[in-house]
Structure 1
Amino acid sequence: MALLTYKPNVENSLDSVFRKLFDDLSEGVVDSKPNSFSPRTDIFETEKEFIMELAVPGMEKKDFKIDLDDDLLLISGERKREEKEGVKYYRNEQLFGVFEKSFKVTELIDKENIKASYEAGILRIALPKIEKKETKKVIDIK
Structure 2
Amino acid sequence: MFRTFGQNIPALSVGANVPAVSVAESSEAIEATIELPGVEEKDIKINLDGNRLVISGEKKEESTKDEKDWHVEERSYGSFYRAMALPFTPEDGAVEAHLDKGVLHVVVKKPTALAQKTKTIEIKTGAPPKA
User: What is the TM-score with the length of structure 2 in the denominator?
Assistant: 0.71
Aligned: 1:127 with 2:108: yes
> Equivalences for 1:59-98 in 2 at 5 Å?
59-85=39-65, 86-98=67-79
Structure 1's 133 and 91: CA in aligned 2 closer, same or farther, altered over 3 A?
Answer: closer
- Which residue identity lines up with residue 32 of structure 2 in the other structure? M
Distance in 1 (alpha carbons) for counterparts of 2:11 and 2:2: 22
Which deviates the most, 72-81 or 40-49?
A: 40-49
Which structure features the higher share of helix residues?
1
User: Is there any run of 5+ residues in structure 1 with no aligned partner, and where?
Assistant: 1-16, 135-142
* Deviation for aligned residue 1:27: 5.5
The answer to whether the 8 A contact 1:54-1:124 is kept is yes
Aligned-partner SS, 1:83: coil
TM-score using structure 1 length: 0.66
Rg larger in 1 or in 2?
2
Q: Helix, strand or coil: the match of 1:62?
A: helix
CA distance, structure 2, for counterparts of residue 133 and residue 81 of structure 1: 45
Change (3 A) 1:28 1:100: closer
Count of residues in correspondence between the two structures: 111
Question: Which ranges of 4 or more aligned residues in structure 1 deviate by more than 4 Å?
Answer: none
- In structure 2, what is the equivalent of residue 5 of structure 1? none
- Assess, with a 3 A threshold, how the Cα gap between structure 1 residues 46 and 96 changes in structure 2: closer, same or farther: same
